[in-house]
Amino acid sequence: MKDAAARLTPLGVMVLALLREGDMHPYEMIRLMRHRHDDRIVPVTNGTMYHTVARLERQGLIAEVGIDRDGNRPERTTYALMDAGGEAVEGWVRRELTELDHPVEFRVALAEAHNLARDDVLTLLRTRLAALAEARDQHRNGRAKALAAGTPEQYLIEVDRQGALLTADHDWLAAFLERLSSPDLVWGAHENDARYLAQREAARR
């Protein structure tokens, strides 16, 4: 399923993740994503949603399971997640949780990390933490060498900012790993959560 995961877009991943929660039609997906404010991570329009759903169906990752009509509303095609789709989204999330140079993809992977087992996420994010520490230290050393060589600080403003961002990212992740290591942080399935059920009901209307 490596090839299927490699072809996924961030929105495609979020669609597959939604269908892990149950069968849905695209309009419900759009409403649910907006209700949860997932569109702050990945822009969602009717056009991009329907295009993404059609592509996922062609790839065999989702399948049509019914067409409904409610009153005067347009027909709505409901889709279900195929096994290949579930494997693809897990593979994509696993890969992107460790990548440092894909900021948008990492945000999506982090948002969908709950689809993986807690221990798997801990392992992947510890790998990312080590990579962030190395990148941070290399940045610090490079800036220090540039200053020692006489480079005026005004030419290193962007370098300084990037170092601060790497440090903040590293420190946030280290703190999050401590929280994730604790059983007090609820993780995994949420299908019976009252808030989740209310969101699904509102999105269906």
Q: With pLDDT > 70 as the criterion, what percentage of the chain qualifies?
A: 88
Q: How far apart are CA 161 and CA 61, in angstroms?
A: 41
Task: Output the average pLDDT for the chain.
Answer: 90
Q: Where are the alpha helices (DSSP H) in 97-193?
A: 103-111, 118-148, 157-181
Predicted confidence (pLDDT) at residue 191 exceeds the cutoff of 70: no
Is 199's pLDDT higher than 70? Answer: no
Residue 136, beta-bridge partner list: none
Q: Is there a contact between 1 and 87 (Cβ–Cβ < 8 Å)?
A: yes
CA angle 111, 112, 114 (to 5 degrees): 105
Contact 76, 31 (CB under 8 A): no
Query: Within 13 Å and on the Cβ side, how many CA atoms surround 200?
Result: 16
Cα separation, 161 vs 172, in Å, equals 16
Enumerate residues 6+ apart whose C-beta is below 8 A from 68: 25, 75, 76, 78
Distances (CA, A) of 12 to 17, 29, 128, 131, 160: 9, 11, 23, 27, 35
| 198 has pLDDT over 80 | no
* Kind and range of the H or E run holding 16: helix 10-19
pLDDT higher at 86 or 195: 86
| pLDDT tier for residue 115 given thresholds of 50, 70 and 90 | very high
- For the chain, the domains span 2-113, 117-181
90-110 pLDDT, tens digit each: 999 999 999 999 999 999 999
pLDDT computed for residue 1 by the predictor: 43
Architecture of domain 2-113: Orthogonal Bundle (1.10)
Report the run of H or E that residue 67 belongs to, with start and end: strand 62-68
Residues 8-65: tens digit of each pLDDT: 999 999 999 999 989 999 999 999 999 989 999 999 999 999 999 999 999 999 999 9
